[in-house]
């Protein structure tokens, strides 16, 4: 089962995403309650069938310190939807420093983008403007809510209200 379950804190704020198995265990052990279930999906034991959770809420409030999304190759590519920010390619992806490191560019969210190896080689040790390349969007530091939205199944609307995507 590859489905994911949204975990809400006791105050209904989204705090994480987990597997169906972990969510079911939290509900079964009475550490969480099922807010919404997946349509028509069930977990089966020998003697019973249990609905598959889509959104669960913890029984007790958990203080979750927020340190931000860690800067990593995987998270930069995830933020950029695994596509080149210059041409849109989805193969042979690398990371590119907008202001090259050899010219004082830092390794931070606002200076890193996903680029295909072809665009990265074309850019070289220049800025995108100097190389005649145009970014599809300006790189920013992502929020937790942004990363949780990436797990959102387009056919599952249960999460949308908790991630601030519906009024």
pLDDT along the chain (167 residues), means of 10: 86 91 95 91 90 94 86 93 96 97 95 97 95 95 81 72 74
Nearest to 2 by CA among 15, 20, 17, 14: 20
C-alpha to C-alpha distance for 94 and 117, rounded to whole angstroms: 6
**Predicted local distance difference test score (pLDDT) of residue 160:** 81
Tell me phi and psi for residue 71, to 5 degrees: -80, 110
For the entire predicted model, the pTM comes to 0.70
Q: How far is CA 35 from the centre of its chain?
A: 21
Q: Domains, the chain, ranges and CATH? A: 4-65+144-150 (no CATH), 77-131 (1.10.30.50)
**Predicted local distance difference test score (pLDDT) of residue 151:** 67
**Predicted local distance difference test score (pLDDT) of residue 121:** 96
C-alpha to C-alpha distance for 142 and 114, rounded to whole angstroms: 14
Strands 49-58 and 112-116: unpaired
Neighbours of 96 (CB within 10 A): 25
**Predicted local distance difference test score (pLDDT) of residue 134:** 96
Neighbours of 48 (CB within 10 A): 8
């Amino acid at each position: 089962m590859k489905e994911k379950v949204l975990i809400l804190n006791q105050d209904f704020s989204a705090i994480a995403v987990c597997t169906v198995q972990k969510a079911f265990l939290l509900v079964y052990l009475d550490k969480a309650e099922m807010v919404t279930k997946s349509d028509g999906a069930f977990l089966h034991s020998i003697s019973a069938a249990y609905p598959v959770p889509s959104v669960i809420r913890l029984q007790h409030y958990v203080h979750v310190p927020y340190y931000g999304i860690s800067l990593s190759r995987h998270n930069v590519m995830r933020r950029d939807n695994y596509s080149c920010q210059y041409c849109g390619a989805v193969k042979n992806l690398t990371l590119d420093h907008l202001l090259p490191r050899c010219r004082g560019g830092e390794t931070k969210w606002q200076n890193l983008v996903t680029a295909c190896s072809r665009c990265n080689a074309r850019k070289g040790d220049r800025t995108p403007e100097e190389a005649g390349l145009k970014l599809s969007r300006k790189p920013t530091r992502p929020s937790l809510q942004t990363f949780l939205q990436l797990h959102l199944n387009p056919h599952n609307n249960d999460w949308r209200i908790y991630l601030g995507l519906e009024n």
